[in-house]
């Protein structure tokens, strides 16, 4: 579903997949089933990363996984080769199947990729007792500055998945014309963290998803117990059985919020979209158990020339499986590949469609 705007016309022209009526895998219709099957069935394209650890102003470190794509035929000159900056989900890193598929889509088109692994999420040591959350964009700003410093002439597109999409949208809203990015793409982003939490605490969603994600977050804390016990009660944190409990015992303590509700309000990007200043495409499914349909910012997006919200009736969370045996490239990957290509190959057209003047771009 799209509202007719100059941006949507651009997308229909340069991203043929948006004109398709998404039809999920015949034996895998429901959002929960799509999400579960994708996690089990999805293939893992081979990707060879070059890891880089960068330091932050507070003494911490961030792990970046690069695919430089030096063999790129369309962009043999490294200094101008477009870069896709990928932000994984809440417990994800560069090894997730959806990240590997995104990298594959980008590199086959000649682009460079870099995956921003949240602190402590990719096996590296925490040097300070600070991790990450959806509202704090300081680490992302550090990463963008680093990437732009290495390749100042190369355009950067940010692609965020789930919580990574929340972080990306919050960053784009905060930085406005100074983001260092030419566009943004989000997949299965929760626009309202409070509504997402309520949905995830429904009994079946808790059993299938919430409990497992909370366990993943607790494992990360346990792995870094020695340094984190300086600032939180680790044993109490490890008893968390939901993401909300984890946020109340860990995240709000780390980042100075009074309550999970205050944190969720700050982390929710939906109402911040009007302050973004680059073209943004958001892909969401109406049956996503993580991002309930009632929280989609439909009214807000209708008034924004630079934001397009592509909604499908089915697709679940980071799934969008189609075809009879959806192990490889599916709707989500096709959209990803076509959109980044449209952005990098038709920069003037997309900015014109979104009402963005060249002097606005940083």
Residues annotated as part of the active site = 162, 288, 317
Determine contact, residues 341/333, Cβ cutoff 8 Å.
no
Alpha-helical runs (H) found in the chain: 6-14, 31-41, 97-107, 138-150, 163-175, 193-200, 203-205, 211-223, 225-228, 234-237, 243-246, 252-255, 260-267, 298-302, 331-345, 347-353
**CA–CA separation, 172 vs 306, rounded Å?**
12
Q: Which two tokens stand for residue 236?
A: 């109490």
Residue 51's CB is within 10 A of a number of other CB atoms, namely 14
Residue 61, classed as helix, strand or coil, is strand
**CA–CA separation, 134 vs 341, rounded Å?**
27
Burial of 119 (0-12, 13-18, 19+ CB in 10 A): buried
Query: Which residues does residue 61 pair with via DSSP β-bridges, in sequence order?
Result: 55
């Amino acid at each position: 579903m799209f509202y007719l705007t100059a941006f949507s016309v651009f997308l229909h022209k340069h991203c043929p997949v948006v004109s398709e009526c998404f039809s999920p895998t015949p034996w895998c219709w429901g959002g929960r089933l799509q999400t579960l099957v994708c996690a089990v069935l999805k293939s893992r394209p081979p990707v060879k990363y070059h890891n880089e650890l960068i330091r932050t102003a507070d003494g911490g470190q961030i792990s970046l996984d690069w695919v430089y794509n030096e063999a790129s035929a369309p962009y043999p000159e490294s200094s101008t080769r477009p870069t896709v900056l990928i932000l994984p989900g809440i417990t994800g890193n560069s090894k997730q199947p959806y990240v590997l598929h995104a990298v594959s889509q980008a590199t086959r088109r000649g682009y460079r990729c870099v995956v921003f692994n949240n602190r402590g999420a990719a096996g590296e040591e925490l040097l300070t007792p600070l991790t990450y959350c959806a509202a704090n964009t300081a680490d992302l700003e550090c990463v963008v500055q680093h990437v732009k410093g290495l390749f100042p002439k190369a355009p950067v597109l940010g692609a965020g998945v789930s919580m990574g999409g929340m972080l990306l949208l919050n960053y784009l809203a905060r930085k406005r014309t100074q983001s260092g990015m030419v566009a943004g793409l989000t997949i299965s982003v929760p626009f309202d963290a409070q509504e997402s939490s309520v949905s995830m605490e429904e009994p079946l969603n808790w059993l299938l998803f919430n409990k497992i994600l909370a366990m993943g977050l607790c494992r990360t804390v346990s792995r870094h117990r020695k340094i984190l016990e300086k600032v939180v009660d680790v044993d109490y944190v490890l008893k968390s059985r939901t993401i909300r409990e984890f946020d109340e015992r860990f995240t709000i303590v780390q980042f100075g919020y009074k309550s999970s509700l205050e944190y969720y309000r700050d982390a929710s990007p939906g109402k911040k979209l009007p302050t973004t200043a680059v073209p943004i495409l958001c892909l969401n499914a109406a049956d996503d158990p993580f991002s309930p349909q009632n929280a989609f910012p439909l009214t807000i997006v209708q008034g924004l020339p630079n934001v397009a919200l592509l909604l499908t009736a089915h697709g679940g969370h980071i799934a969008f499986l189609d075809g009879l045996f959806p192990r490889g490239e599916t709707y989500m990957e096709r959209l990803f590949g076509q959109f980044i290509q449209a952005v990098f190959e038709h920069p003037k057209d997309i900015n014109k469609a979104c009402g963005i003047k060249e002097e606005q771009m940083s």
